[in-house]
Amino acid sequence: MLNQVRESSVLPEEKAGQWVKSGMTIAIGEPAPMGLLRWIIRNKITDLTVIGSGLALDYLIAGGCVRKVITYYAGSPDIAVMPAFRSEAENGTLEVWECEEGILTSGLEAAGKGLPFMPWRGGVGTSLPDINADLKVIRDPIGGEVLIAVPAINIDITLLHASISDSYGNVQHCRGTGWLDMFLYRAADRVIVQVEKIVSNEEIRSKPWETTISNADAIVLSPYGAHPFYSRGYYVQDQEHIRDYLEAITTAYSDGNRDKKDGYFEKHCNQFQSHAEYLDAIGTRHLISLSEY
């Protein structure tokens, strides 16, 4: 017998994090895999092309890791336009692959299906194909209707945060996945999933219809790993922490004062050797106060 043991997919954060190399195309799901994003910032990974949205994407831009974003939405209910995104895009230091939700999902679907493109109607008549030269206006080969051909969007590594998985990479999101998670998973060469809890294989098999991702390449145990953002069924956003982030980063960019930005990341990210140290600094009492109920 050559091999009689089923292999575990569980990796420590630093092992999984090392898969991410400068220059890669990565994607960020929802809830946000903040533990891994902090690892990326701490380890000075740069020149990433990032598919994502909202403040988690901004965090990575502010952290100095991003050269190009593929995003349909760079705002949040907390702020009209995210500060690092806005400032770097206006300066021309951040490239934006202009798109929208249906165009983005079409490109991701094409990648997952091994196709060079997918057609989409949303965006016809808009400025999107003018701004983004990768989007081609075509006539459909059946009836001649005008559509947009979206090229496949392939991803090196997708980073997700979910509720539970077993040790073999079978992931079950609580209350459904984030809107893009499944698209990002299917379009990627590899997927790393942070989870709140690792459960037994038997627990997964007792409700296989809840499995959202099978064969995750790496599982990282990361309780409270989406902090300061929410994790469905576990905790809500840390509004105070997010307000502090927005204030620090907005001020840093409007002053042109890099130190303020560095100070923020030193205090909230770089000084920690691990996710556990980060959680210690946040404090158990505060974490518990965020419980979703």
Partner 1 sequence: MSFPATIKEVMAVVLSRELEDGDHLQVGVALPVPEVAVRLAHIMHGPNMQLIFLGGRMNVHHLESIPLPDFGWDSRSVRWAESYSDRGHRFDQVKAWHKRVFFVGGLQVDKFGNINLIGIGNDPTKLKFRGPASVGTPTLTTHVGRYYIVLNNHSSRVLVPKCDYVSAVGWHEGGANSRKELGIPGGGPKLCVTPLCVMDFTEVEKRMRLVSLHPGVTLDDVKANTGFELVIPDIIPTTLVPTEDELTTLRTRVDLNGLLRSG
Q: Determine whether 287 is exposed, middle or buried from the number of CB atoms within 10 Å of its CB (0-12, 13-18, 19+).
A: middle
Name residues contacting its own copies, limited to 18-77 (CB under 8 A). Answer: none
How far does CA 144 lie from the centroid of its chain?
A: 37
Give the single-character DSSP code of 153. Answer: -
Task: Give the whole-angstrom CA distance, residue 46 versus residue 67.
Answer: 7
Q: Which of 96, 138, 198, 282 binds its own copies (CB under 8 A)?
A: 138
| Residue closer to its own copies, measured from CB, 214 or 254 | 214
Q: Which does 117 bind (CB under 5 to 8 A by kind): its own copies, partner 1, none?
A: its own copies
Alpha helix (H) residue ranges in the chain:
13-17, 34-42, 54-62, 83-91, 101-112, 128-131, 181-186, 201-205, 239-255, 258-265, 275-282, 284-289
Instruction: Identify the three-state secondary structure at position 66.
Output: strand
| Residue closer to its own copies, measured from CB, 92 or 143 | 143
Q: Which of 126, 250, 270, 274 binds partner 1 (CB under 8 A)?
A: 126
Long-range contacts of 121-124 (CB under 8 A, 24+ apart): 121/147, 121/148, 122/148, 123/99, 123/148, 124/148
| Residue closer to its own copies, measured from CB, 39 or 120 | 120
Q: Which of 46, 96, 151, 276 binds its own copies (CB under 8 A)?
A: 151
Q: Which does 219 bind (CB under 5 to 8 A by kind): partner 1, its own copies, none?
A: none
Residue 121 binding its own copies, by CB under 8 A:
yes
Residue 125 binding its own copies, by CB under 8 A:
no
Please give the structure tokens belonging to residue 268: 């909230």
Q: Which of 114, 133, 202, 293 binds its own copies (CB under 8 A)?
A: 114
Name residues contacting partner 1, limited to 183-202 (CB under 8 A). Answer: 183, 185-187, 189, 201
Taking the complex as a whole, how short is the minimal distance between the CB of residue 292 and partner 1, in angstroms? 6
Residue 208 binding its own copies, by CB under 8 A:
yes
| Residue closer to its own copies, measured from CB, 68 or 136 | 136
Mind giving me the DSSP string for 68-111? EEEES---BTTBSS-HHHHHHHHHTSSEEEE--HHHHHHHHHHH
Residues that bind its own copies (CB under 8 A): 113-121, 136, 138, 140-143, 145, 147, 149, 151, 175-176, 208-210
